[in-house]
Amino acid sequence: MVNFGKLKKFMEIPETAEMLLSQPEKETTLSINLKVGPNKMLIYKGYIVYHNVVLGPAKGGVRFAANVTLAETRTLAELMTHKCALMGLPFGGGKSSIAFDPKSVSEFERRSLIKEYAHMLRDDLATGAYIPAPDMGSTPSDMAIIYGETHHPESVTGKPPRLGGLPGRREATGRGVSTVTTSACRQVLGKEVKDTTIAIQGCGNVGSYTASFLFEKGAKIVALSDVSGGLYSPKGLPITQILDFIQQGKLISEYQDENLQKIKNEALLELPVEILIPAAIEDVLTKNNANKISAKLIIEAANGPTTPEADEILNQKEVVIIPDILANSGGVVASYVEWRNAKSGNQTSAEETYQFIDSKVESAFKEVLRLTKERKANFRNAAYILSVSELMAAMRERSWI
Ligand code: NAD
């Protein structure tokens, strides 16, 4: 979340701009009701937040998680506002969520729930006011169900490629994380990724492709986890085998290799590595463990993995944090290409998607790095200086401020 108090030390922010960027433009709580039999009704809570849409329609993933809240959805929508502004995309910040555990419902119930969600959002999906994509818990098949309800390919991104999706979209966030890790490694640690040790928390969509791309570049990934726990080997993990195992729908804790040590997620964060990549959930770096972090460079692949207190402590320890709005922007960059292709009828290859992500992420990284030096700001503040400047310029052009 933007800390305006800190940012105002670096730039002028008129009160009107701060007011508009401090609260969402629109929030809706849904009651998604499924009649599943005579006298039997299942009711799920859903949340939609449009944080700021000065740059374009609200763009942001749909999260499926049992304990998701309106507050969490709001924070994620705010991050999207700044991510899109930083990456120069014509989108505003949005997010939606449905409070259910995707692992505990039947396929039929899941499909019915998504259809009902799309039905309740039909006006905004039809006009393009909100464009969903996958986020934690949701998949390309879920996006295909939304597309099935709207019939407009540009109404949702992250679809499977044969249904108007983009080759390379599934890998996109991990691709961007690996690209930014490579650049940050050179600039901050003064070495190539192949000469570093890396721990990655989470191996869902983001964590697994991050691991795969970094492993391809020769990085030594010494630890990887999922919700069930993690694996650790100071010599480096057999990433290809582990990822193949996970792709069969298995948990990391079930992986058998006597040369690898089983560790808890909390322990993974504190390992003696040079680079730490939290790629699972928010708020994992806290005031309780910040002092125990050994990594010199943290790449925020997940949204909001660092609490403000931990951010403070890690900054004092001179740990460099590449913020989420830069580190995990590859997904929304690819979503932009998918949306643009849906409108124009263009088709692009996975390789073209990767190149587009790399060029966008690398140029944003360079701009942020330049500002860290010019303004003596850390990477998070520098990224927000850029996003807030872009948003303020757009708000002025639209006479909002
Ligand atoms: P996912 O559902 O595909 O994977 C989540 C991973 O986190 C899984 O490996 C899961 O086992 C693990 N996990 C869940 N709870 C955990 C816990 N308590 N401790 C440790 N691990 C846990 O989700 P994803 O799409 O990979 O998203 C991960 C993060 O990246 C989220 O913060 C999401 O908002 C962010 N993100 C995702 C995308 C995208 O394109 N999917 C884009 C930008 C940001």
- What residues are labeled active site? 95
Give the pLDDT score at 130. 98
Query: pLDDT digits over 200-240, tens only?
Result: 999 999 999 999 999 999 999 999 999 999 999 999 999 99
Give, in order, the Cα–Cα distances in Å from 385 to each of 256, 352, 355, 371, 392.
47, 30, 26, 8, 10
- Mean pLDDT on 383-391: 98
Domain that holds residue 43: 22-163
- Same structural domain, 322 and 178: yes
- Same structural domain, 182 and 158: no
How close is the Cα of 226 to the center of ligand 1, in Å? 9
Would residue 395 count as lying in a domain? no
CATH number for the domain that contains residue 104: 3.40.50.10860
Indicate the pLDDT class of residue 190, thresholds 50, 70 and 90.
very high
Tokens coding 165: 């999706």
Separation between Cα atoms, residue 381 and residue 375, nearest integer Å: 10
Task: Report yes or no: 88 and 390 within 8 Å, Cβ to Cβ.
Answer: yes
Query: pLDDT digits over 307-365, tens only?
Result: 999 999 999 999 999 999 999 999 999 999 999 999 999 999 999 999 999 999 999 99
How close is the Cα of 68 to the center of ligand 1, in Å? 13
Separation between Cα atoms, residue 242 and residue 389, nearest integer Å: 43
Give the pLDDT score at 345. 94
How close is the Cα of 205 to the center of ligand 1, in Å? 7
Q: Which residues line ligand 1 (CB under 6 A)?
A: 134-137, 173, 201-207, 225-227, 265, 279-281, 301-303, 328, 331
Would residue 7 count as lying in a domain? no
Reference 102, options 73, 139, 144, 131; nearest CA is 139
Atom of ligand 1 nearest to the CA of 304: 32
Q: Indicate the number of domains in the chain.
A: 2
Separation between Cα atoms, residue 220 and residue 235, nearest integer Å: 8
Give the pLDDT score at 36. 87
- Same structural domain, 207 and 124: no
Query: pLDDT digits over 87-137, tens only?
Result: 999 999 999 999 999 999 999 999 999 999 999 999 999 999 999 999 999
Choosing from 272, 301, 327, the residue where a domain stops is: 327
**In the chain, how many H helices and how many E strands?**
15, 13
Separation between Cα atoms, residue 153 and residue 11, nearest integer Å: 40
- Whether the pTM exceeds 0.85: the reply is yes
| Residue 105 CB coordination number (10 Å) | 17
Mutate to test the pocket of ligand 1, among 76, 206, 329 (most ligand atoms within 8 A of CB): 206
- Same structural domain, 221 and 308: yes
- Same structural domain, 146 and 242: no
Reference 245, options 226, 264, 219; nearest CA is 226
- Same structural domain, 34 and 106: yes
Atom of ligand 1 nearest to the CA of 305: 32
Choosing from 259, 294, 327, the residue where a domain stops is: 327
Sheet containing 229-232, strands listed edge to edge, beginning at the edge strand earlier in sequence: 261-263, 229-232, 220-226, 197-201, 275-278, 297-299, 320-322
Q: Average pLDDT, whole number, for the chain?
A: 97
Task: Report yes or no: 314 and 306 within 8 Å, Cβ to Cβ.
Answer: yes
- Same structural domain, 97 and 195: no
Give, for 263, the enclosing helix (H) or strand (E).
Answer: strand 261-263
Would residue 381 count as lying in a domain? no
Would residue 1 count as lying in a domain? no
- Same structural domain, 181 and 314: yes
b or e along 275-311 (b: 16 or more beta carbons within 10 Å of the residue's beta carbon)?
bbbbbbbbebbeeeebeebebbbbbbbbbbbbbeebb
Query: pLDDT digits over 68-88, tens only?
Result: 999 999 999 999 999 999 999
Would residue 264 count as lying in a domain? yes
Would residue 293 count as lying in a domain? yes
Give the pLDDT score at 1. 77
Mutate to test the pocket of ligand 1, among 139, 281, 361 (most ligand atoms within 8 A of CB): 281
Give the pLDDT score at 140. 95
Give the pLDDT score at 151. 95
Give the pLDDT score at 7. 96
Would residue 275 count as lying in a domain? yes
- Same structural domain, 258 and 148: no
- Mean pLDDT on 15-26: 97
Would residue 305 count as lying in a domain? yes
- Same structural domain, 188 and 219: yes
DSSP codes, 130-157: EE--B-TT--HHHHHHHHHHH--GGG--
- Mean pLDDT on 150-158: 97
Separation between Cα atoms, residue 161 and residue 150, nearest integer Å: 17
How close is the Cα of 393 to the center of ligand 1, in Å? 33
Closest C-alpha residue for ligand 1 atom 3: 204
Task: Report yes or no: 364 and 184 within 8 Å, Cβ to Cβ.
Answer: no
129 DSSP assignment: S
CATH number for the domain that contains residue 315: 3.40.50.720
DSSP codes, 163-206: GT--TTHHHHHHHHHHHHHHHHIIIIISS-GGGSEEEEE--SHH
- Same structural domain, 319 and 177: yes
Give, for 95, the enclosing helix (H) or strand (E).
Answer: strand 92-98
Choosing from 117, 145, 163, the residue where a domain stops is: 163
Mutate to test the pocket of ligand 1, among 74, 78, 205 (most ligand atoms within 8 A of CB): 205
- Same structural domain, 322 and 180: yes
